[in-house]
Amino acid sequence: MTDTTNLLPGTPPKNGKSIAAAIGGNQYLLGTLSVIVFLAIWQVVSMNVPPIILPAPAAVFTAFIGLTATGELVRATLQTIWPFAVGLVVAFVVGTVLGLVLGIFRPAARVLDPYIFVFWSIPNIAWLPLFIAWFGVGNLTLIVFVFVSAVFPQLLTVESGAKEADSFLVEVARSLGGTKREILHIVVLPSALPYIFAGLRIAVGRALVGIIVGQLLIVATGIGYMFQFYGETLSLAKYFAPLIVIAALAVLLNRGVNWAERALIPWKQHAFV
């Protein structure tokens, strides 16, 4: 007898995927569709409000091309990226190393943790007058401000990861004559790697906020200055241009962290994919 089950209306093929499942399984296609939907909603809303409230996507695109062609947006981006990158890299190295040390050596953690939490609880903007007095008004102050914005989430997250190392494996390594350095490389560091990347994701976001706030309040330069100037003059189409750059930078950095995590931690299991 011929099997007619798959011929019934509304019965999905047994060996195939529905369109929705196919779209949901393709992250690039899903991302593209989400951008299209977002732009469509933006266009509809902008058609019903004055341009001074929300410019149309076409106006923002035109302003973006114009600012790029004149070199203003490129210069501002370069002025923003290099102090951001220096501050973030230093914060990542210091936060990771100090977090591992505090996670391994509990006496040091007992002494330093209260001070770390005190400094972490102080709003970053409260440090600005001190940084300006100590380092002057310039890129060095920007780097220090980015560093302070990013180092504490990296440090605290890595410290938590180091403390999560399996005590049984540590004791086994010690019983086999493992030194502190060998235990760090063989047991603690692999256990802390997911936390290192989790801390880096948070640190990237904090560093981006830090560089923009610094350029608004410390040095009138870069993308922060563009936000201030075009915001005060209500040139919203041009205001969105540096906003797009920051958003793109955040997405690229997040994708880079994800790629590095997959490459360095292939054994990590994901509950939801």
**pLDDT for position 104:** 79
CA distances from 205 to 36, 106, 214 (A): 25, 29, 14
**pLDDT for position 176:** 61
**8 A C-beta contact, residue 203 and residue 91:** yes
**8 A C-beta contact, residue 152 and residue 120:** yes
**pLDDT for position 182:** 63
**pLDDT for position 186:** 67
Q: Hey, what domains does the chain have and what are their CATH numbers? A: 1-48 (no CATH), 57-264 (1.10.3720.10)
| Residue-level pLDDT, tens digit, the chain, 273 residues | 444 444 445 555 554 556 655 555 666 677 788 888 888 898 898 888 888 888 888 999 999 999 999 999 999 999 999 999 999 999 999 999 998 888 878 788 888 888 888 888 888 888 888 888 898 888 899 999 999 999 999 999 998 887 776 565 665 666 666 666 666 666 667 777 888 999 999 999 999 999 999 998 888 888 999 998 998 888 888 999 999 999 999 999 998 988 888 888 776 665 445
End-to-end CA distance of the chain: 41
How would DSSP label each residue in 155-221? HHHHHHHHHTS-HHHHHHHHHTT--HHHHIIIIIHHHHHHHHHHHHHHHHHHHHHHHHHHHHHT---
**pLDDT for position 69:** 92
What is the model's pTM? 0.80
Both tokens assigned to 6:
């798959």
